[in-house]
Amino acid sequence: MPRRPAVLLAVVCVCVGVWGSISTQKPPPLIVILLDGVRWDYVNIHRGNGLPGFERFFSQGAAAEYVNPAFPTNSFPNWHTIVTGLYPESHGIIGNYIYDREASKVFSIDDLEGAKDPAWWSDAEPFWITATKGGLQSALFLWSRCDVPWDGGVLPRHCDPFRFAAPNTDNMVQNFRQAVDMIQNQGYSLAMVYDGIIDTQGHYFGPASSEVAAAVRDTDAALQQLWKDLSDRDMIDNRPRDGLDGQGRCGELDVVPCLEESQVEKVVEYGGYINVPTKSWLCDGVMESLRRCPTVGENVNVFLKKDVPEPLHYKAHRLILEIVVIAKEGYMIRPPQTAYSVPESAGSYEGNHGLDNTNGRNPDMRAVLYAVGPYFAPGVRAGVVEQVDVYNLLCRSVQLQCHANNGTLAHVEAFFRPGVPLQSSAMSRGGIPLAALMAIVSALLLL
């Protein structure tokens, strides 16, 4: 069973710039690196004798004060917010676990084959598809369900979809190297690399553990290797910036004594919230039971879907079912682990995410965003960035026209140097100028 879970999260999005001038017609190639589970303060608390790989990123580019993830502050919803600019209620990936009552199907981060079903993903086109349609040769490494085809068959040129990997950085080192090589030698202009080692260790051992510290150091070594590869190939051009602080611990809440299988169809998710579809006319009774639940006390808010507060942006989608229970700040809902739970069971963990981060609550859910490169302003500390804004930064970086989204380009405008063109008229791209590479390292850290 989970015990004493610590709460944290951070999205690091670092952009590395390589040679290439602003006056160039074509934007420099872009590498986006998503480091899952990198809480916003890890680079400080696990700094040890220094983390030159990270520090080079955030010391040489533009950085957000912090990034507010979308609610729920979990992996799949936020991965998809990053690449669509939409809140989960609009892009449809509303949790790591989803119950589609109409189709009687379950989406689960633990069942990646089932999660590949295009039906889950049909609400919003991801950035890599827009990029592919726009003529960018795109390569994705362990990044979400990049293998889901769009419009009857559009896929990125290279896709190795998400899977759970061994907790070492071998994949990361290899993927960084392959990404750089593909850009230099194979005509790619967009590479998106995901790695989950820090997230994995954070869940198992907790954010302050020596295992997380080791994972941060190993990740730093992989980043240093990336920097070296770029430098050896004459593909770099940088400048500096820095990081943040925060940490918290949560009390756990047990909702099981207040749920009855005869009344409840499913209990979906755990942690920051649960979604409870009830058996037809029993909604009022279940609401009342949860509101009076002695093992939960005053530490949750129980909402009818239609009454979920606006700042959460979590009520518009049909997959959000009728009762939404959200833990108050400082609390988490223990995995129910009943026959009707989704997931049915959950392993033990020392850290987690998914909590309500609206209105300044649970600041450990915050993430970071760094950007370094020829397009990015050196030494700039931008303000607070919402997760939905990051999509606009990605589109602007490669001069693609974003789809309509919930983010605001103005919130990330400070990241860019004056004179960076807004959008390329010619989206067809020939050869990539060799010494022109830009990388975004984005680490979504949720623990």
- Residues lying near Zn ion in the complex (CB under 5 A) are found at 199, 446
Residues 300/330, Cβ–Cβ less than 8 Å: no
- Smallest distance, Å, CB 145 to Zn ion? 17
What minimum distance in Å lies between the beta carbon of 372 and Zn ion? 26
Mapped onto helix, strand or coil, the DSSP state of residue 358 is helix
Nearer to Zn ion, 277 or 354 (CB): 354
CB atoms within 10 A of CB 228: 12
Side chain identity at residue 87, one-letter code: Y
Least distance to Zn ion from the beta carbon of 337, Å? 18
| Nearest residue (CB) to Zn ion, 204 versus 340 | 204
* Angle 209-370-57 from CA coordinates, rounded to 5°: 75
Residue 199 or 386 with smaller CB distance to Zn ion: 199
Nearer to Zn ion, 32 or 446 (CB): 446
- Helices 210-232, 197-205: crossing angle, 10 deg rounding: 170
In the DSSP assignment, the letter for residue 44 is: H
Pairing, β 30-35 against β 190-195: parallel
CB-based contacts of 441, cutoff 8 Å, min separation 6? 12, 13, 14, 15, 16, 31, 32, 33, 35, 57, 223, 370
Beta bridge partners of 82: none
Write phi, then psi, for 37 (nearest 5 degrees).
Answer: 75, 10
| CB-based closest residue to Zn ion | 199
> DSSP per residue over 189-257, as a string?
-EEEEEE-HHHHHHHHH-TTSHHHHHHHHHHHHHHHHHHHHHHHTT-------------EE-EEE--GG
CB of 8 to Zn ion, least distance (A): 10
Q: Which is nearer to Zn ion, 264 or 333 (CB)?
A: 333
Using the minimum distance from each CB to Zn ion, give the nearer residue, 183 or 446: 446
- For the bound state, the minimum distance from the C-beta of residue 445 to Zn ion, rounded and expressed in Å, comes to 8
Q: Which one, 93 or 136, has the nearer CB to Zn ion?
A: 93
Shortest distance (Å) from residue 99 CB to Zn ion: 20
State the minimum distance, in angstroms, from the CB of residue 204 to Zn ion.
10
Backbone angles phi, psi at 141, to 5 degrees: -120, 110
